[in-house]
Chains A and B, each alone.
Chain A
Amino acid sequence: MYAAAGRLVFALVLALACGGPALAQQLPKPLSDPPTGRETFLAVAIAAMMLCGLANFALFGRVSERTHVALAMLGALAGGFSLLVLFGGALYENPIAAVIGVLLLVGMFKFMSKFEAGRKPDRRP
């Protein structure tokens, strides 16, 4: 109980610390403007990652550790693809970015190859 409250306080402090400077930034356009296509895509990607996190939370104790890990990796894949869409243009414009981007993609594929089958079910520390 105390541990959970401690984590909540820590998260709030972090949110305030990060949110303060962000609010101080001058907004590029009024908040009432409709979101652009990119912003909507980003919002959907964030929602997908949130859903993975929430599913992990909701299924706690009901599914195996392996399923929890796979859900976390699914969230990572959604985030990785969103980053590719948002910054992928650099792959085609900058050769160094191309090297880094392709190596990161290969790393992600390697990571995903350990997807639900990479761990033995219910492995305990």
Chain B
Amino acid sequence: MLQPPGHHRRSPYFVSGWLDFAVIGGLSIVVFLLLRLISNGGTRPEVVQAVAVTSIFVNYPHFSATVYRLYQNLDNVRQFPVTAIGVPLLMIAGVAASLWQPEWVAPYFVTLFLIWSPYHYSGQTIGITMLYARRSGFVVGPRQRIALSTFVYSTFILSFVSSRNDQPIIRYGVSIPVIHFPAWFGAILIATMCVGATVFLWFVFIWCRSQRSVPPLIILLPAVAQFVWFMPGRQTAMFYEFVPLFHSLQYLYIAWAMQIGLRLGQPAHGKAAGSVWQETFRWGVRNYIGGMLLFIALPWLLCWIDVPLLTSAGIIIAAVNIHHFFVDGVIWKLRDARETSPLMMSSVDWTPQRAPGMA
């Protein structure tokens, strides 16, 4: 029989310390250090290929996981009708306008997505920090959250300001001019980032002193990873290509834990241990197919339009991304009648527990 969550000491990790550390940011930092060693300032075709291949298995399914969570039943759509119906309609209008005027609407549509993406990553960084803090019993009040947000959002804006490019960049077949910022803006942002980090670490220090213990370091890992992605990582073109992949990996891990918790982690579900693998396989295949439909099939549907396929695909990718930013804001707040939040569970809650004394 499944043991109700809360009967054992809650682990801060979903599966294990090693796995959680790797997925939440440790792996990205290791890859950054390795690529930094072999980087010559530019990128290499094999790196671009590696990113493209891994995208199929990580990036695309991460979008599909969000879409599936919202649209899997009508009740979810009824809870958030504007996100589920209104936003897609607005995105269709945006795609139509971009395809109609690919020279002066499409660049702004793609720019909107390119600036919104790292903002979305920053939101996820804060969300994951809050999640692990809650799981660890580390209290993040409004002041601590402001300090953390100041640090995290500064790194994202700084990544634009410190860009060294002078030539327009071609993203998804759309030419996007480089934005030049005054030097003082970068200096202000660096100061803001340092203040945010110092204040947040000070709060951590105060907590350690009052509790006479050190919080699990995974609480700090998302913010450290974010710093690596957007500060030194931005200067290493070869690594920067991988940033969306690591963001998606974080996302998929938490979404997977949520899915397993929803399906198997409740005391009412008397599932066997093998069900975790079965549910993982079902969920993974579903998201893989959904990702292929969103990023391969959908752009192909527009191949009859008199716009280069790369450009039309870029416009579709921008629309899917912007839709994802909205959907992601609501799916974690979908009401569920179950008593325990799946995000507060661990692997021990998903598998049957043996009664004490059983061989």
Contacts and interface: CB of A to CB of B under 8 A. Distances in A.
Interface in A51-108: 52, 55, 63, 67, 70-71, 74, 77-78, 81, 84-85, 88, 91-92, 95-96, 98-99, 102, 105-106
A25 interface: no
Contacts of B157: 102, 106
B116 A109 contact: yes
A102 B330 contact: no
Given A44-B93, A74-B90, A81-B94, A116 B330 contact: yes
A10 interface: no
A115 B83 contact: yes
Interface in B305-359: 325-326, 329-330, 333
A46 interface: no
A115 B330 contact: yes
B269 interface: no
B121 to A, nearest CB: 12
Contacts of B111: 84, 88
A110 B93 CA distance: 22
Contacts of B90: 48, 74, 77-78
A98 B183 CA distance: 12
Interface in B94-112: 94, 97, 101, 104-105, 108-109, 111-112
Contacts of B179: 91-92, 98, 102
Contacts of A8: none
Contacts of B329: 112-117
B80 A88 contact: no
B97 A44 contact: yes
B326 A115 contact: yes
A37 B102 CA distance: 11
A35 B326 CA distance: 33
A71 B82 contact: yes
Nearest to A118: B329
A85 B182 CA distance: 23
Interface residues of B, number: 37
B82 A109 contact: no
B182 A81 contact: no
A113 B123 contact: yes
B101 A81 contact: no
Given A117-B329, A117-B333, A67 B180 contact: no
A36 to B, nearest CB: 11
Contacts of B109: 81
B182 A70 contact: no
Given A88-B108, A92-B179, A116 B94 contact: no
A55 B179 CA distance: 37
A95 B180 contact: yes
B185 A99 contact: yes
Contacts of B242: none
B355 to A, nearest CB: 41
A108 to B, nearest CB: 9
Contacts of B108: 81, 84-85, 88
Interface string B239-278: 0000000000000000000000000000000000000000
A84 B181 contact: no
B34 interface: no
A77 B116 CA distance: 13
Contacts of A116: 80, 82-83, 329-330
Nearest to A98: B179
B116 to A, nearest CB: 6
A44 B123 CA distance: 31
A43 B177 CA distance: 26
Nearest to B326: A115
Given A41-B105, A116-B80, 11 more contacts: A38-B104, A41-B101, A70-B82, A74-B90, A78-B90, A88-B111, A99-B182, A102-B115, A109-B115, A115-B329, A115-B330
28 contacts: A37-B101, A37-B104, A44-B93, A52-B86, A55-B86, A67-B82, A70-B80, A70-B82, A71-B86, A74-B90, A78-B93, A84-B111, A84-B112, A92-B179, A95-B185, A98-B180, A98-B181, A99-B182, A99-B185, A102-B157, A102-B160, A109-B120, A112-B326, A115-B82, A115-B326, A116-B80, A117-B80, A117-B333
The 3 closest A-B pairs by CB, nearest first: A70-B82, A92-B177, A117-B330
